[in-house]
Structure 1
Amino acid sequence: MKVKNLSEVKIEITNKGRGVFANRNFCKGEKVVIGHRVQTLPERTNHSFQIDFDLHIELDEPGRLINHSCNPNTGIQNNEFGGYNFVALIDINEGSEITWDYETTEYISIAIPECCCNAYNCRIKTLGFKFRSTQISKKYGNFIADYLKELNI
């Protein structure tokens, strides 16, 4: 599956650092990237993914390089590899940057002090699910981390 991901997306340099871009069109509901857990971390980092209240992981590439957007084109789902699948929330055109919302996995986010996604609905800073639980749950439905769904918001 890793080879499939790398042939269907490409990594490019952006004004935010490295990012992931579609190498083909993706339909809404299609898995765009399958993120495999490569390491369990002793604490959160700017590049970690929160998988439970006290568990942070590192994903393999390209998953770990997908940038944040307040208006993303993918949502996340826990997967059988101990990581997250990035699933198209809308049809994604070839050449588009693949993005996800950090607040769908991070209970408290430390990743970006100031957002630079330039989305029409940019929140300026990612705070975390704790501070926007109702808004995030309503917007993404099942496309949030399983441990956050357990909060019954």
Structure 2
Amino acid sequence: MNTAESISDAKLNSHVTIQQTAKGRGVFATKKFAKGETVVVGILIEAVPERTISSVQMDFNLHINLDEPAIVTNHSCDPNTGVRNNQFGGYDFVALSDIEAGEEIVWDYETTEYEPIATFRCLCGSLSCRGKILGFKFREQILRDTYGQYIADYLKTQSK
């Protein structure tokens, strides 16, 4: 059984849906999730030779493409999910607080990206918006303090 078959059999990601938003496509809960529950399972599609605007960083020299819905999960400076490396070569998006049905699933891009391909103006609109997405390199301590275990494994053990 290959990874795609095992994922299909497990019905992962069956309690979220992709919808169009003012910022593009996004992922939304179709049921209530409790704090600590896995909301989205991101599965490695392929490693990419160079990072792109939509790739996700897994190590200092490794960027990957994730499947849907993970790849269309949007950023927020005040996210309701954090990331955890998973057995599928990607990230699980884990509820940082209770998430209601109908709520958009969002995560903080700086918890995986050491230094993004470009500095982006943040469009999250949260009250705690940082204004720009700079990367873990520039906000290491605040991100460690805020998210604890919910950052990429490669960022937990070393700084570049």
Tell me, yes or no, whether TM beats 0.5.
yes
Q: In the alignment, which residue of structure 1 is the partner of 2:117?
A: 110
CA deviation after TM superposition for structure 1 residue 6, in Å: 4.0
Cα deviation for residue 5 of structure 1 reads: 3.6
Whole-Å separation in 2 of the counterparts to 1:5 and 1:14: 23
Does the residue aligned with 1:133 lie in a helix, a strand or coil? helix
- Amino acid of the structure 1 residue aligned with 2:144: S
When structure 1 is superposed on structure 2, of 105-114 and 20-29 the one drifting more is 105-114
Which of 124, 127, 132 is the aligned partner of 1:120?
127
Please say if 1:84 is aligned against 2:91.
yes
Q: Secondary structure of the residue that 1:47 maps to in structure 2? A: coil
Q: Are 1:70 and 2:77 counterparts?
A: yes
The answer to whether the 8 Å contact 1:110/1:126 transfers is no
TM-score normalised by the chain length of structure 2: 0.91
SS in 2 for 1:147: helix
Aligned length: 152
**Structure-2 change in CA distance of 1:77 and 1:6 (3 Å):** closer
1:140 corresponds to 2:147? yes
Paired residue type of 1:148: L
Unaligned stretches of 5+ residues in structure 1: none
Q: Distance in 2 between matches of 1:112 and 1:18?
A: 21
Q: Give 5+ residue unaligned stretches, structure 2.
A: 1-6
Q: Distance in 2 between matches of 1:102 and 1:111?
A: 12
> Paired residue for 1:15?
22
List, as ranges, runs of 4+ consecutive aligned residues in structure 1 with deviation greater than 2 Å: 1-7
Alpha carbon RMSD of aligned pairs, Å? Answer: 1.4
CA apart distance, 1:111: 6.3
Match of residue 61 from structure 2: 54
Q: Aligned partner of 1:104: which letter?
A: T
**Bigger Rg, structure 1 or 2:** 2
Of all paired residues, the percent bearing the same amino acid is 57
Find the residue that maps to 2:11 and give its secondary structure.
Answer: helix
